[in-house]
Chains A and B, each alone.
Chain A
Amino acid sequence: MLESVTSLDVEERQRLEPHDALETKMEVVGLDAWYSTKQALVDVNLNVRSNKVTAIIGPSGCGKSTLIRCLNRMHELVPGSRVTGSVLLDGKNIYGSDLDAVDVRRRVGMVFQKPNPFPNMSIADNVTAGLKLAGVKDESSMKEVERRTLERVGLWDEVKDDLKRSGASLSGGQQQRLCIARALAIEPEVLLMDEPCSALDPTATAKIEQLITSLKQTYTVVIVTHNMQQAARIADYTAFMYLGKLIEYDETTTLFENPRQELTERYITGKFG
């Protein structure tokens, strides 16, 4: 697999890669993705840095959600979908025959656009849902995890007396933080977030953004957002996509202040479409 990486055109790599020597957590190599006959991703190459927040921006329909859903093999759940190329997690291809989708998703967690807590489970059960799948049965360690992860997402003080209430009884912003807690409870290495604030009000959004910034100490975060300011606020690296292609990828400040591609410049200055 490494051969195919090094064989990439040097100029191409310079265009796509930030110039630093940080550790790579995930590496996307020559990724194409289809929905039945429609191609959604075209030869995408991307390095996701360890313990950094990477944002993916671009106009709607550019493939940014498809890309993030290829990083934990959620894309293949769509009937008729197809993926070629590879995505390396710590150097190992997640589409390889020795890894299965279930294990990949435990290591690469995901938070979605609309908060989707399990409505018939209590807040506590929502948090530990993933642990129960893994076969954890120990009550006291569950309680431990509930408290730790809810504290981590800043929800503990708000819900500690109502842990038995339905997860659906919370406000939208609280639900989204609950979903983040649910994803964190199984201790993934990477957290993917697909427009996690698009259904939330500004106050709730601010809380989530704060949370994302604090999460990178422990996790590698990849976030899709249609909101450029959000990317500028929270991301260390930003990738710009257009029509299924990765156009530019760099440190966030560089990409926003000094874009190398004209398309990128037009997009971030709002001259698009």
Chain B
Amino acid sequence: MKRRRSGADTAFKSMTLIFASSAVVLSLIYFFELYYGSTLTLKSGISFVTGSTWDPNNQVFGVLPMLYGSLVTSAIALIIGVPISLGVAIFLSEISPQVLRSPISFVVEMLAAVPSVIYGLWGLFVLAPILRTNVYPILESRLGFLPIFQGTIYGVSVLTAGIVLAIMIIPMVASISRDALLAVPDSQREAAYALGATRSEVIRMSVLSYARSGVFASIFLGFGRAFGETMAVTMLIGNTPLISASLLSPGYSLAALVASEFTEATTQVYISALIEAGLVLLVVSFIANVVARLLIRRLIRSREAASYL
């Protein structure tokens, strides 16, 4: 009787252990499968990411334009999205009256739940036309001396994709930053107030500084999300494998490449190239997420340490 019972204990623990190990196994399988799936093109080495010609018919696979598109759209998303996210986070943690916090957080969470294909659809039919007729012409006439605001206006473009990505990363960046700001002890705020700081000075010298690793973590997570975001970008970037100086021109991204060409890839080597594009996505987003999680972990540790002081 006793033995059977302890057997049940062992069996239960083993079962949960096996399921928990899925995280380890999955991590390995991701790299292993994508690595072996792209054997045919991996052997051409670094030219895959440095080559700027994508010509599947002639079996020339260079994803530099897509890598460039992924990086530029992510950068636009961060440049526009991070300040807005921080504004929202600061409002929620430092400025908002108590009664407004919960409803506003609710709205921000709803924004996070909207599926990306819906952002794509809305971007394509609602935002892109507005940008094309009302915003981009103004950008071009006022700032057209800059190479990034020149050329033909299509509506779908690197900038359009970046703007929608910005909207998409705001809820996540805002929500994690807000948590980091709320974790700042009041004693830190008091220290600044007692020195004669105004509220905005308290936020800058004390709150943001104390919470900076959490804020950086949210930015890394936002980057990871933007870099790997597929549907909205596929629908808005124009899917053209070119590197152009102008943000108003169509471009391409790694994720959009994988999503839009897999169904038409017929040759083994073409498929291999697309899987390798997936591998690049995997490596970059894995690193961004590891960095973000390490930052968050450090934040939690320091918070625990602070609470024992």
Contacts and interface: CB of A to CB of B under 8 A. Distances in A.
B114 interface: no
A123 to B, nearest CB: 14
A179 B196 contact: no
B187 A114 contact: yes
Interface stretch (A15-23, A49-57, A98-106, A239-247): A98-106
Nearest to B209: A120
Nearest to B306: A119
B187 A112 contact: yes
Given A133-B197, A133-B205, A186-B195, A116 B190 contact: yes
Nearest to B98: A79
A183 B209 CA distance: 19
Nearest to B197: A133
Contacts of A116: 185, 187-188, 190-191
B24 interface: no
Contacts of B190: 74, 77, 110, 112, 116
B201 interface: yes
Contacts of B206: 118
Interface residues of B, number: 21
Contacts of A172: 309
B194 A105 contact: yes
A110 B201 CA distance: 17
A40 B194 CA distance: 21
A173 interface: no
Interface size class of A (residues with CB under 8 A): 20 to 34
Contacts of B201: 133
Contacts, number: 67
A72 B194 contact: yes
A225 to B, nearest CB: 18
B212 interface: yes
B26 to A, nearest CB: 36
B309 A114 contact: yes
A183 B194 CA distance: 8
Nearest to A80: B98
A102 B188 contact: no
B36 interface: no
Interface string B38-75: 00000000000000000000000000000000000000
Q: Which of B191, B193, B201 has the most CB of A within 10 A?
A: B191
A120 B194 contact: no
A186 B196 contact: yes
A95 B100 CA distance: 29
Contacts of B193: 74, 77, 105
A121 B187 contact: no
A8 interface: no
A111 B196 CA distance: 13
B27 interface: no
Nearest to B302: A119
B98 A133 contact: no
B197 A102 contact: yes
Interface in A118-172: 118-121, 129-130, 133-134, 172
A186 B191 CA distance: 13
B98 to A, nearest CB: 6
Interface in B56-110: 98
B210 interface: yes
Contacts of A72: 194
Interface in B221-263: none
A117 B309 CA distance: 13
Contacts of B191: 112, 116-118, 179, 182
A117 B191 CA distance: 8
Contacts of A129: 192, 195, 205
Contact of A130 (B189, B196, B309): B196
B198 interface: yes
A117 B190 CA distance: 11
Interface in A35-88: 72, 74, 77, 79
A34 B20 CA distance: 52
B212 A120 contact: yes
Nearest to B213: A120
A9 B243 CA distance: 85
Nearest to A120: B209
A199 interface: yes
Interface of B: 98, 185, 187-198, 201, 205-206, 209-210, 212, 309
The 6 closest A-B pairs by CB, nearest first: A106-B196, A130-B195, A110-B194, A116-B187, A116-B191, A105-B196
10 contacts: A72-B194, A74-B194, A110-B190, A110-B194, A112-B191, A118-B192, A129-B205, A133-B205, A134-B196, A199-B309
